[in-house]
Amino acid sequence: MTRYVFFGGKLLDVDAGTLREGLELLVENDRIAQVSEGRIDAPDAERIDLGGRTLMPGLVDAHVHVVATLVNLAENAALPSSVIALRSAGIMRKMLMRGFTTLRDLAGADLGLQMAINEGEIDAPRLVICGKALSQTVGHGDYRARYDNRPLHQASLGSLGRIADGVDEVRRATREEIKNGAQFIKIMANGGVASPNDPIHVLQYSREEIIAIVEEAENYGLYVAAHTYSDASIRRAVECGVKSLEHCNLITPETARLAAEAGAIACPTLVAYEGLALEGANFGLNPDSAAKIDTVRVAGLESLKIMRDAGLPMAFGSDLLGQLHKYQSMEFSLRTRVLSNQEVLLSATRISARLCGMEDEIGTLAPGAYADLLIVDGNPLEDITVLERHDECLSAIMKGGVFYKNRLAE
């Protein structure tokens, strides 16, 4: 049995928003076994002196696309699955090195990637998957040009979505994704930026189709996540039983209250628009898409205030594509323009863990949880940028009791 005892530092209590001193934490194999005020008696354990640093739970990014290896999703879908798999391993390794020990993939990642991670073939965070996102024709998952009526490359690993129209087809598509290992179902319920022919405000899928998808998912014990920006689209999603509301940039206070009452969780993704605005065009974002960025970017910060005031829990998402993944950690300081550091940390741990269906297993230092740990030089409750300066400020990264970075001995 591999055992470590961490001592001599401060443990971040995300729920209380405090650092706790004088505690010791025992890791046994892949789990946290004990957190104690006195010295932990474990003679065979390796004792690791934190040297006054902060020990905190690994971060959870609840909205990523690890198979989006290019900004241009149509080009991405045309690539061979083998190159997508290898590139996505690199994308995930970098996410792990930024301190993200769990990812919820919001379209594209498949069971094969999850198997490769679980078998230890690649160094990557835990991965929660939904398979392909369901999109209607001319929806956010339909990235074909107007004059292109060939079928979508939807069998390719590089395709984030699949097209399904009508109640029968969406039921079948939902069941197929569940068969293929989906842990929740993703639908495109509103126009989007990275797709060419759907303005932001268009509603996608009929109520009947969304209700059918929710029924199929819930029959299997799963929930539905919807890509949604406009207030009308968010409200309709909530009314149809969607539980995970992605983006939500244009939400109103009334809809935010309705969503909170319905037990939904929002997953804002502000850095996605910052990344696209900064460099999207350089990396092949088409002009129709680029013209849509500011519609959602400007409202993003305001939406955080609205959702916080309505008591709608917010997870942490980045939603970056291709070459823009490098901006992932910038989501922290974007959010702290509006929210407290503790609120942002809660998003990136406790609340995102709920969307992963792993509430007691990740995003916490409680005994029984996975030993997904970061050792941080600094206090993220006071200075959130320590998480953005990960190369410098993360002294160690552990996932499931295994160190993927450890500079403590240096």
Q: Which residues bind Zn ion (CB under 5 A)?
A: 106, 227, 319
Helical pair 293-310 and 253-261, crossing angle rounded to 10 deg: 60
Quick one: which H or E segment has residue 226? strand 224-230
Name the pairing type of β-strands 10-13 and 265-267: unpaired
In sequence order, what are the residues at sequence separation of 6 or more whose Cβ sits closer than 8 angstroms to the Cβ of residue 44?
A: 1, 3
Long-range CB contacts for residues 290-296, cutoff 8 Å, separation at least 24: 292/191, 292/192, 292/193, 292/199, 292/200, 293/193, 295/200, 295/229, 296/193, 296/200, 296/229, 296/247, 296/249, 296/250
CA angle (360, 363, 366) in 5-degree steps = 55
CA angle (108, 405, 60) in 5-degree steps = 40
In sequence order, what are the residues at sequence separation of 6 or more whose Cβ sits closer than 8 angstroms to the Cβ of residue 33?
A: 3, 26, 27, 367
Q: How far is the CB of 255 from Zn ion (least distance, A)?
A: 17
Q: How far is the CB of 321 from Zn ion (least distance, A)?
A: 8
Nearest to Zn ion of 227, 325 (CB atom): 227
Of 142, 130, 338, residue with least CA distance to 249:
338
Note whether 55 and 365 are within 8 A (CB): yes
Q: Which residue is nearest to Zn ion (CB)?
A: 227
Note whether 263 and 243 are within 8 A (CB): yes
Tell me which residue has tokens 């995003």: 363
The SS3 call for residue 307 is: helix
CA angle (243, 248, 252) in 5-degree steps = 105
Amino acid of residue 253: P
Q: How far is the CB of 140 from Zn ion (least distance, A)?
A: 6
CB atoms within 10 A of CB 358: 21
Nearest to Zn ion of 198, 372 (CB atom): 198
Cα 107–chain centre separation:
11
Q: How far is the CB of 398 from Zn ion (least distance, A)?
A: 28
From CA 292, how far away is CA 381, in angstroms rounded?
34
Nearest to Zn ion of 106, 373 (CB atom): 106
Q: How far is the CB of 354 from Zn ion (least distance, A)?
A: 18
Nearest to Zn ion of 200, 393 (CB atom): 200
Q: How far is the CB of 133 from Zn ion (least distance, A)?
A: 8
Nearest to Zn ion of 56, 134 (CB atom): 134
Nearest to Zn ion of 101, 135 (CB atom): 135
Nearest to Zn ion of 5, 106 (CB atom): 106
Q: How far is the CB of 320 from Zn ion (least distance, A)?
A: 9
Q: How far is the CB of 352 from Zn ion (least distance, A)?
A: 14
Q: How far is the CB of 52 from Zn ion (least distance, A)?
A: 39
Nearest to Zn ion of 5, 226 (CB atom): 226
Nearest to Zn ion of 191, 378 (CB atom): 191
